[in-house]
Structure 1
């Protein structure tokens, strides 16, 4: 039995590897028909729909993000690949017998945080839960918190699975988590935004965290305890470090910080003198992201969040032949403007130290593109 099991595992692994290779080739070429064939051909006794969703489509989507970050895919190609994955998932889930829920099935709401447009991870979780017999209300990407709460009051969901890929949405996620709990509905958080180990889900008071769809489904099947609404109201004040107002002021003055840093960068970063208008726009956008991540790092009181973003951005710039040293200059200029903000200055200093000792990544990891 052991040898047979090993042979079956090897066979399944080979089937999945071939399917991933075929799917990658298809989505890279924008070939929707080829992508669908790769997915449907992978289905079999050892590779059910859940396996295809999570072990074929999800890793290929992660690769799409990584290839975009390494400047080997254009933005248009990345969007095309994601759209193809969405349509292939739709075709896969329209097959007879995909939904296994009944009128007695437990009900869960799956939604992305307000402002979060990466909806594919939440869609994958939705389909896994439906396969496992849950009734799922999939609200999709970019769900305003007020609309989410209204939906919960109308449907009586047993839990909310809240997804976010971009860390700058964490303050909004905190609002959504607290609001759901105040309505008596527990929240399981998932997605890259909540940190590699779920640390920000814990910081923001989520009732559970799961790194992947399988883990989320298993957590929901075990049951997530309903929160005490009174405790949820108190959770709004659970981040005492915000009392120093650094986060609030950085957010409110963010546009001024970007404008002033951009102006001073002209004098400190010589290559800017030959930048095109397009390159200047991109530089301003990069500075805005830098300030947004700094603010988010202040919100959750974690310097590592900002440092990870800086190192990722350095790899992105390197892949696009832009000197990563410009980031160090920009952070120095921000530190000068934030001289009266000790937490912000410490966060910037630690990121600059990490940047100075960084080893460029040979393959830039996707940031906020994972499934």
Structure 2
């Protein structure tokens, strides 16, 4: 049938979006079934129709045009659409190319990108063990011991899971399994995958399939590595100490902000809870930036947060005030202080363009 990028992709995308945004699962499945009846390519349906609609779901949430509940409902409908694409399609035992494990890192709830990769690989003839979201590393390693796959594909969308991803990569390689990683958490250029010593990085599902086609070298399980070997800057202990202080940092920042802005004392319980959540995310991204020693990771998140707050009619000065309070508390940590200073300068300097979401709500 027609190649990807043709008019049918856009037309089906519009139809699927209408169904997904309207919360109509049956209409979404009808779109997919009509496309299959017309002979359209399953892989293109997965990546360029369903995947594109899911990206739009994330963009609508970020623009405050879709609630969290609506976003979750939309994602569930897209999961059902994926199932409709692959229903009845399989490979016979004598034609399986090899066995692959696809999993999200521990703590990662955004499973749909990994699901898309898993289904693309199945369409291309691989036997895939899809483990889904939030898989503890120890459980994944037990599965690898039991199945001895050709490779494990690890997915992570949120950068705050990078330290956990680093641990998982090293653990997989320690049992002799090559690790292919992907997802927005690893950077648009795969910089963190390289920093963590992953076997390969893939920008998308098709790149992942191509990497498997080319073959992945088996790591030497006797060559044990530690985080400080890959990231020598961790020897200064800032990441560890700031991370351990997370709860106290959030609590004290809330108190100090109330003292500076008495209007906060009239906040409802829900407003206080949302403020605490925002501060916790800031601290989480700060500690992750300390882990990878990359100011861009933190400044990108802060500018994205400012865009989100503006979309919700929250003044950006509340964000800069929070950064200032954190800087006072962390004045004995030079790398953390520098990160906070750079983020503040980005917010208060010349207007910067909106930045892409630093993770995936899709």
TM range (shorter): over 0.9
Which residue of structure 1 aligns with residue 214 of structure 2?
Answer: 222
In structure 2, do the counterparts of structure 1 residues 90 and 265 end up closer, same or farther at CA, with 3 Å as the change threshold?
same
Superposed CA RMSD: 2.0
**Gap regions ≥5 residues in structure 2:** none
Mapped partners of 2:357, 2:94: distance in 1: 38
Q: Residue 169 of structure 2: which of 154, 177, 190 is its match?
A: 177
Change (3 A) 1:205 1:151: same
Q: Is this contact kept in 2: 1:100–1:131, CA < 8 A? A: no
Asked if 1:75 corresponds to 2:68, the answer is: yes
Q: 1:219 to 1:65 in 2, by over 3 A?
A: same
Q: What do residues 71-111 of structure 1 show as CA deviations (whole Å, max 9, x unaligned)? A: 0001111000000111121122112x344664652111000
1:65 aligns to 2:58 (yes or no): yes
CA distance in structure 1 between the partners assigned to 2:99 and 2:169 by the alignment: 18
Measured in 1, the distance between the counterparts of 2:263 and 2:350 equals: 22
List 4+ stretches of structure 1 deviating above 6 A.
none
Structure 2 residue 44 is matched with structure 1 residue 51:
yes
Mapping 1:193-272, distance limit 5 Å: 193-234=185-226, 237-269=229-261, 271-272=263-264
Alpha-carbon distance between aligned partners in 1 of 2:350 and 2:91, rounded to the nearest angstrom: 48
2:179 is the counterpart of 1:187: yes
Give the structure-2-normalised TM-score. 0.95
Shift of the 234–77 alpha-carbon distance from structure 1 to 2, 3 Å rule, reads closer
Partner of 1:320: 312
More divergent stretch after superposition (264-273 vs 48-57): 264-273
Paired residue for 1:369? Answer: 360
SS at the partner of 2:223? helix
Counterparts of 1:82 and 1:40 in 2: how far apart (Å)?
A: 18
Q: Give me the whole-angstrom Cα distance separating, in 1, the residues matched to 2:52 and 2:351.
A: 25
Distance 1:256 1:100, change over 3 A: same
The match for 2:141 among 149, 153, 156 is 149
Report what 2:111 is aligned to. 119
CA distance in 1, matches of 2:223, 2:37: 48
Segment of structure 1 superposing worse, 350-359 or 98-107: 98-107
**Runs of 5+ consecutive residues of structure 1 not aligned to the other structure:** none
Q: CA 1:98–1:271 in structure 2 vs 1: closer, same or farther (change >3 Å)?
A: farther
**TM-score when scaled to structure 1?**
0.93
Superposed CA deviations along residues 285-323 of structure 1, whole A, max 9, x for unmatched, are 100110010000000110110111101111111111111
Query: CA 1:102–1:118 in structure 2 vs 1: closer, same or farther (change >3 Å)?
Result: farther
Cα deviation digits, residues 36-65 of structure 1 (max 9, x gap): 122222336773100100000001001101
**Counterpart of 2:325?**
333
| Structure having greater relative contact order (Cα 8 Å, sep ≥ 6) | 1
SS of 1:148 mapped into structure 2: helix
Q: Name the CA distance, whole Å, in 1 between partners of 2:7 and 2:57.
A: 21
CA contact (8 A) 1:101 1:130 kept: no
Inter-CA distance 72–247: structure 2 relative to 1 (3 Å threshold): same
Whether 1:292 and 2:284 are equivalent positions in the alignment is: yes
Decide whether aligned partners of structure 1 residues 233 and 367 sit closer, same or farther in structure 2, where only a CA change above 3 A counts: closer
SS in 1 for 2:197: coil
Alignment-derived partner of residue 21 in structure 1 = 14
Please give the secondary structure, in 2, of the residue aligned with 1:176.
Answer: helix
